[in-house]
Amino acid sequence: MKTLKGPGIFLAQYAGNSAPFDTLPNIARWASSLGFVGVQIPSNDTRLFDLEQAAASKTYCDDIAGMLAEHGLAVTELSTHLQGQLVASHPAYDALFDGFAPPALRGNVVGRQAWAVEQLKLAAKASKHLGLTAHATFSGALAWHLFYPWPQRPAGLIEQAFAELGKRWRPILDAFDDAGVDVCFELHPGEDLHDGATFERFLDAVDQHPRANILYDPSHMVLQQLDYLAFIDLYHERIRAFHVKDAEFRPNGRSGVYGGYQSWIDRPGRFRSLGDGQIDFRSIFSKFAQYGYPGWAVLEWECCIKDAEQGAAEGATFIREHIIKVTGRAFDDFAATGADAAFNRRVLGMDAS
């Protein structure tokens, strides 16, 4: 067993143009004041991080790590959620996802996808320079528009989609393998990797690649009505990152899982600040302790009701109080009789005449 690390905080939802959210030193000072000990950094946000420089210069990364250490912080993971989305994108979403790419590449689907792949490879090098072991991202999607089987899907269509997805990700996974870093896909609606079944399909497509792993976020499982505790039992060996995010699902006579195109506050499934939703985090943290989860517990704030700064302040305490310091001895050691093969034989009746 192993005690997980935390609390950490994902900075993507907090970064902004005003202090203390406008630079990494400023936001680090703020996060530390709330009791966080780790930060997950969105690598696309140049206000906080220069990915190209981090990939090229270990000195730059050492400076980042040193500055954070002065505030009692460490980098938990880098994130390429937006870049990962563009590794695979169906044309139906081109206009919506164009904003994830640099202005010069908007409208250039081929160039945009090549840029996204290069961004992931830069993130592998930057993660190595920072001494990280895990990286957070999205898989992108070629088949998400087909998630509901109507109209009927042609035979072999999904298999072909995952074969192509695997082909696109294989060189990226190899780059992360060279860097000694796990790629942790956040299983998320809108991505081809959104549950256990689709993750298994992807593993088959990349020949069970050892760097293809999972960012576990139970909130997305609640909204899909998936058993988020059984998921840990099934896939704990591949879980290498963890977003601590709450959610609730309260279906009614008007709408359910699909949400009826309503705003977040009116949907039956809603993201909530930690402790305000329905997720059984005590059981989650217990299972992570049981299975020796090796990574961080990182707050991701996405609440349609509570203020973000209140959510962060409460979230640091919430995570800290849920982290289980694993025991170093068995509870019944006081009754141990020692190790003695001859004694064991007598207990088993093996010396009886």
- pTM of the entire predicted model: 0.95
The domain spans of the chain are: 5-347
CATH topology for the 5-347 domain: TIM Barrel (3.20.20)
pLDDT classification of 256: cutoffs 50, 70, 90 = very high
Question: Is the per-residue pLDDT at 341 higher than 90?
Answer: no
Which helix (H) or strand (E) segment is 39 a member of? strand 38-42
To the nearest 10°, the Cα dihedral for 157, 158, 160, 166?
A: 170
Which is higher by pLDDT, 222 or 329?
222
- Helix, strand or coil for residue 134? strand
The confidence score (pLDDT) of residue 353 equals 57
pLDDT classification of 338: cutoffs 50, 70, 90 = confident
DSSP track, 280-304: -HHHHHHHHHHHT--SEEEE----S
The confidence score (pLDDT) of residue 352 equals 67
Question: Is the per-residue pLDDT at 328 higher than 90?
Answer: no
Question: Is the per-residue pLDDT at 340 higher than 90?
Answer: no
